[in-house]
């Protein structure tokens, strides 16, 4: 990343990054409080939701990358989810060293309840915001994500475009 002859953009509100982080933390906290009666911690529900978004059969490594966590942290959570009979590890079809993650029948049932809780939170947090406004926010955030990935030389890890 070259800073030579860089023109810096001054935002009217330089706290934008701080606000993005605060909203992210509050959103996750709201989900965690909503799904707590299901025995779900933030680590557990985030693994479950990200596996659902990535698709069953995703490797542990790919899931850890998507979550932005180290493998030991993911392994600890997956071990807990296995003990709860919500997720199972299976060997990759072409690489036995690689473990892929699948929902059990109980895990699929749990995912339905978990998705309902997440939908409830999303509905509450976007109350009073029009679909057009939400589409604009989404579009702007996707552009910021793309720019950040470009700046950091990372592939766009944020899922759907």
What tens digit of pLDDT does each residue of 95-112 get? 878 899 999 999 999 999
* Domain 29-122 CATH assignment equals 1.10.10.10: yes
**Global confidence as pTM:** 0.82
Give the per-residue pLDDT at 160.
44
- DSSP 3-state of 57: coil
Tokens at 74, concatenated: 């993911």
User: What is the rounded CA–CA span in Å between residue 51 and residue 45?
Assistant: 10
């Amino acid at each position: 990343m070259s800073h030579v002859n860089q023109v810096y953009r001054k935002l009217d509100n330089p706290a934008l990054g701080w606000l993005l982080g605060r909203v992210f933390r509050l959103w996750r906290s709201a989900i965690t409080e909503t799904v707590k009666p299901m025995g779900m911690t933030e680590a557990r529900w985030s693994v479950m939701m990200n596996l659902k978004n990535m698709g069953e059969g995703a490797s542990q490594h790919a899931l850890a990358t998507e979550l932005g966590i180290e493998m030991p942290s993911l392994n600890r959570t997956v071990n807990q989810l296995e003990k709860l009979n919500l997720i199972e590890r299976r060997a990759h079809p072409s690489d036995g060293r690689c473990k892929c993650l699948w929902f059990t029948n109980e895990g699929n049932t749990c995912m339905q309840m978990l998705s309902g809780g997440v939908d409830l939170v999303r509905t509450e947090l976007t109350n009073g915001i029009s679909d057009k406004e939400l589409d604009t926010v989404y579009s702007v955030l996707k552009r910021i994500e793309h720019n950040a990935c470009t700046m950091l030389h990372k592939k766009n890890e944020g899922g759907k475009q």
